[in-house]
Structure 1
Amino acid sequence: MGTTSVETGQRALRLPAAGTALALVVLAGCTSGTGQAAGAFPEVVIAMPAWTGGQANAAVAAHVLREELGVPVRLRELSPGQAWDQLDQGGVQVVLEDWGASPDKRRLYTAQRMSVVPAGDLGPVGRVGWYVPGGYAAANPGVLDWRNLNEYADTFASAESDGRGRLLTGGPDDASHDEALIDALDLAYTTVPAGGEEQLIEALRGADRDGGAVLANWWQPHWLHEELELAEVELPEHTAGCHREGGPDRCGYPDIPLRKYLNAVFAEHGGEAAAFLTDFSWTAEEQNEVARMIAAEGMSPEGAAARWAEKNTERIAGWLGEG
């Protein structure tokens, strides 16, 4: 039976920088003839992001690799940018949920270096936007049109926003174009990092409970939408190119099909493990079920994945071509 470990930080096992050909020689020389389900790889390393939906993906995939295929698995906690770099270098074999936040790295590694290959859609479609509690929106319907937001700036102001309306965001390193959009729309707001997903959730829960006013950068899919009614502010429609350098930035966020990527050497020589990760996809509802167990019920990602897997044996069999 395989094992799973979680690793934090920057350290990685790296393939030689000389390229794919040399990497194959090294892998073949070290592991040829092992007959493992991961082919030439002694373990599979999965990039695990900070948000709970991404943790749910990684945990369930790790559970299937470990329990069904007998493959040792390591989960590496990485930011999206770090994950792309490690995919290129061979420090991780798979990214399961890419939101398109690093287009330059994607083009470099998939089109130029060809060290990373697409592995299909994860299933859910991501949507980022600005949200307020449903109760506040019901009492103040005008807030749902961006053209009216300046009328509510004083209501959303906080000690951290220097007299301007506060747009609450997650962590300081989260990718967004909120500041550019605020400037382009001439809004009297400023972004204020809450610290992370957990802090954002607490702010939204508190506002929902107390009837307060919070404007937050938030996203779907997310399990919190099943607990709270959140209303999305209508931003200008997204158009192609509006976020590019020199673009007008007068548009909201696009819908984002969440995609998977594999290290190219692993995709070709990772055996059943690579085939499973290519076939792995699920719904937003399934992801939310596991994510809620992690975030709301306090379960470990591994424990949540095990509970979900126990109830979804047919789903797993389908991923493995056994259904």
Structure 2
Amino acid sequence: MTRQPSPYANAKGAKTVTLSVQSWVGAQANVAVAQYLLEHELGYRVDTVQVDEVPAWDALSQGRVDAILEDWGHPEQEQRYVKDKKTIEAAGDLGVTGHIGWYVPTYFAKQHPDVTDWKNLNKYADQLRTPESGGKGQLLDGSPSYVTNDKALVKNLKLDYQVVFAGSEAAQITQMKQFAKQKKPYLTYWYQPQWLFEKVPMTEVKLPAYREGCDKDTQKITCAYPQTPLQKYLNADFAKSGGKAAALLKHMKWTTKEQNEVSLMIADRKMSPQDAAEKWVDENRATWEKWLK
């Protein structure tokens, strides 16, 4: 955890909610809107804790945070904490479907249409080489903490590529924007929903089709990433005693388009998450009023 947990988390009698916020902007958009509504409509104090994906489950189980609003699929943690220990409760779909994949900029795909089939990637390895990729083509990833099978995929599909981690979503976006400005080719791990598609059009490279169970052994994996309905989770005690706050978070459900609206304001227009949330809340009463029932 990069910030200390709030001393108010789960404090008896305190009208306080502590939300886990991950490093990508979509997750920040969820938390910003939830925080604004909890504070301005329900009168709670909201604290946020920046925490990576897997440690967030530990923090949620221990009550150091009350909610995770966007989980991309961690079956081991779900088995341990939801099914076995019962210290975490599933809180339903966020309403957004996530998908991880490999992408090239659309301007490169138009020049070389066959690059969108993984079987042809080795043909373009030289063009996609960078100083960081050690003589191989570069596959640009974000943070090592994100859900990724890329190193195993490169090895198992016998691709002449090196996975290079930018370090964070923000650093990855900076690199992609620089490549796009210079109209240079690149291959990147990326995901939807994501606001950058509005600014830098990208085309997905088709990996071997995903089928149920093909990603069970991540060391032997040779298939694409699945479509993932993004999930919310609450600390089990908070789910029972969290009152209107827990009810709002359970009912919170919005679309990819709505999340991207807030993400664009934060990441592209450089608005603070609080200002972006306020603007969205002011303009979308019909959506969020349902969450308060």
Query: Which band: TM-score by shorter chain?
Result: over 0.9
Alignment match of 1:53 (pick from 13, 23, 26): 26
Map of 2:234 onto structure 1: 262
**Runs ≥4 in structure 1, deviation > 6 angstroms?**
none
Which residue number corresponds to residue 177 of structure 1? 149
Shift of 1:203: 2.2
The C-alpha deviation readout for 1:244-265, integer Å capped at 9, x for no partner, is: 2377311010000000001111
Note if contact 1:14-1:90 (Cα within 8 Å) is conserved in structure 2. no
Which residue is 1:287 aligned to?
259
**How far apart are residue 174 of structure 1 and its match?**
2.3
What amino acid sits opposite 1:56 in the alignment? A
Which residue of 154, 157, 173 maps to 2:126? Answer: 154
- Work out the CA distance in 2 between the residues paired with 1:246 and 1:188: 19
Alignment pair present for 1:201 and 2:173: yes
1:42 aligns with 2:15: yes
Please state how far the C-alpha of 1:297 moved relative to its aligned partner: 1.1
Structure-2 residue corresponding to 1:117: 89
2:62 partner amino acid: Q
Q: Name the structure 2 match of 1:311.
A: 283
Q: What secondary structure, in the 3-state scheme, does the structure 1 residue paired with 2:109 have?
A: helix
Counting matched residue pairs gives 293
Counterpart residue identity of residue 171, structure 1: S
| C-alpha distance in 2 between matches for 1:111 and 1:147 | 40
Counterpart code for 1:67 = H
- C-alpha offsets along residues 106-150 of structure 1, whole Å, 9 cap, x if unaligned? 210001110001100001100100001000000011110000000
CA contact (8 A) 2:117 2:207 kept: yes
Aligned equivalents of 1:120 and 1:58: distance in 2?
Answer: 16
Change (3 A) 1:172 1:248: closer
TM-fit CA distance, 1:240: 2.1
CA contact (8 A) 2:149 2:218 kept: no
1:180, 1:162 → 2: CA distance?
Answer: 18
Indicate the residue corresponding to 1:81 in structure 2.
54
Q: Alignment identity in percent?
A: 41
Spell out, residue by residue over 1:187-214, the C-alpha distance to the aligned partner (whole angstroms, 9 max, x if none): 0111001121122222222222222111
Distance 1:246 1:62 in 2: 36
Instruction: After superposition, give the CA deviation of every residue in 1:47-78 in whole Å (9 maximum; x if it has no partner).
Output: 00100000000000000000000011101111
SS in structure 2 of the partner of residue 232 of structure 1: strand
| AA in 1 matched with 2:69 | L
1:243 aligned residue: 215
Q: Deviations over 1:274-304 (max 9, x none)?
A: 1110000100111001011111111111111
In structure 2, relative to structure 1, the CA distance for the partners of 1:172 and 1:247 (3 Å cut) is closer
The residue aligned with 2:64 is 91
- Structure 1 window deviating more from structure 2 (231-240 vs 196-205): it is 196-205
User: Displacement of 1:13 after TM fit?
Assistant: 4.6
Once the two structures are superposed, residues 169-192 of structure 1 have per-residue CA deviations (whole angstroms, 9 ceiling, x without a partner) of 102322201000111100011100
Does structure 2 retain, via aligned residues, the 8 Å contact 1:203–1:214? no
Preserved contact between residue 241 and residue 247 of structure 1 (Cα < 8 Å): no
2:89 alignment partner, SS class = strand
- The corresponding residue for 2:273 is 301
SS class of match (2:19): strand
Counterpart-to-counterpart distance in 2, 1:11 and 1:305: 23
| RMSD, matched Cα | 1.8
Letter in 1 for 2:44: V
Aligned residue number for residue 190 of structure 1: 162
User: Which of 24, 41, 66 is equivalent to 1:68?
Assistant: 41
State which structure, 1 or 2, has the greater radius of gyration over its C-alpha atoms: 1
Query: For the residues of structure 2 that align with 1:90 and 1:250, how far apart are their CA atoms?
Result: 37
What secondary structure does 2:132 align onto?
Answer: helix
Q: Which amino acid aligns with 2:24?
A: W
- TM-score of the pair, normalised by structure 1: 0.87
* 1:308 CA drift (Å): 1.0
* Separation in 2, partners of 1:244, 1:12: 36
Unaligned runs of 5+ in 2: none
Answer whether contact 1:47 1:83 (CA < 8 A) is retained. Answer: yes
